[in-house]
A = this chain, B = another copy of it.
Amino acid sequence: MSVWIRGIHLNKYEEIANELRRRISEGEYAEGEILPDQMKLAKEFDVSRMTLKKAIDMIAMEGLIFKKRGVGTFVLKSSLWNNGDSKFDDYNGLTEQFGHRRIVSKKINFDIVFPDEKLQSLLMIGASNPVYHVQRLRIIDDKPYILEDSYFVASIITQLKAEHLDGSIYGYIRDELDLKIGGAYRKIHADVANGLDIKELNCDVHTPILEVEQVVYLDNGTPFEYSTSRNRFDTRSYTITDIIGNH
């Protein structure tokens, strides 16, 4: 009752969601058009209506379609908002996001320290539980891009070494440590440039900075990273799709 494609297991509702996404992106269901109703689609895919609805719900959450009780389900225009901006539900590091471009990391700082009170609280650890402190400048296509200041709980992200900093730390966490990421709390603000920004991001005292502050959790709920990522205001923005469910 499920399918493997290229070694990846897909549930029925994921399969159906993929097929519906394809039909929408290829214009088989045009913008503004109404989709076949859930009964018809359930019959077509030979699944129960509950399962089909789950697929529909996923796509609706992504903002591709829109449901209205008593009326039907419509295709929304993906419009101008589907650009290259960072999405909030993206848990890959920069390395994966910009895989097609040349990414280099410049190590600014790498040591292991004891957490201050703020870190202890955010990472739910004690004062004697050391954390790796990593500061990197990520460079994309020869241009300075993001200034990262990260703290990793040493007892979780074990054996972090200088050579990992050159590439993707998240790749190390996922592939070598075999840990899974469960989610993150993020906070965005604007800020004034500080000394390090000025030095590394090629800006001056008056350049606005966009900062994303985050605590990242493993899939068992344990926080393992606190970090801030700083960009020049003109190099990055964030997009969010927000769809109210039901009612």
Would A242 and B185 be within 8 Å (CB), given that A121-B80, A233-B208 are in contact? yes
Asked if residues A66 and B188 are in contact (CB atoms below 8 Å), the reply is no
B contact residues around A77 at 8 Å (CB): 124
How large, as a class, is the contact surface on chain A? 35 or more
The answer to whether B221 and A182 have CB atoms under 8 Å apart is no
The answer to whether A188 touches B237 (Cβ under 8 A) is yes
Q: How far is the CA of A120 from the CA of B238 in the complex (A)?
A: 23
Q: Does A181 reach chain B (CB closer than 8 Å)?
A: yes
> Would you call A76 and B221 a contact (CB within 8 A)?
yes
Task: Provide the residues of chain B in CB contact with A236, threshold 8 Å.
Answer: 189
Residues of B within 8 A of A233 (CB): 189-192, 208
Q: Which residue of B lies closest to A69 (CB)?
A: B219
Query: Which positions 190-227 of chain A face chain B at CB distance < 8 Å?
Result: 190-192, 205-210, 215, 217, 219-221
Bitwise interface map of A from 164 to 185 toward B, beta carbon under 8 Å scored 1, else 0: 0000000000000000111111
Return chain B residues, CB-CB under 8 Å to A241: 183, 185-186
Contact A238–B188 (Cβ < 8 Å) = yes
A205 to B207, CA, bound (A): 10
Q: Pull 24 A–B residue pairs with CB atoms less than 8 Å apart, ordered by A.
A: A63-B185, A66-B217, A66-B219, A76-B217, A79-B121, A79-B122, A81-B185, A85-B187, A91-B242, A183-B241, A185-B240, A185-B242, A186-B239, A188-B210, A188-B238, A190-B190, A190-B231, A190-B233, A192-B208, A205-B206, A208-B208, A208-B209, A219-B244, A219-B247
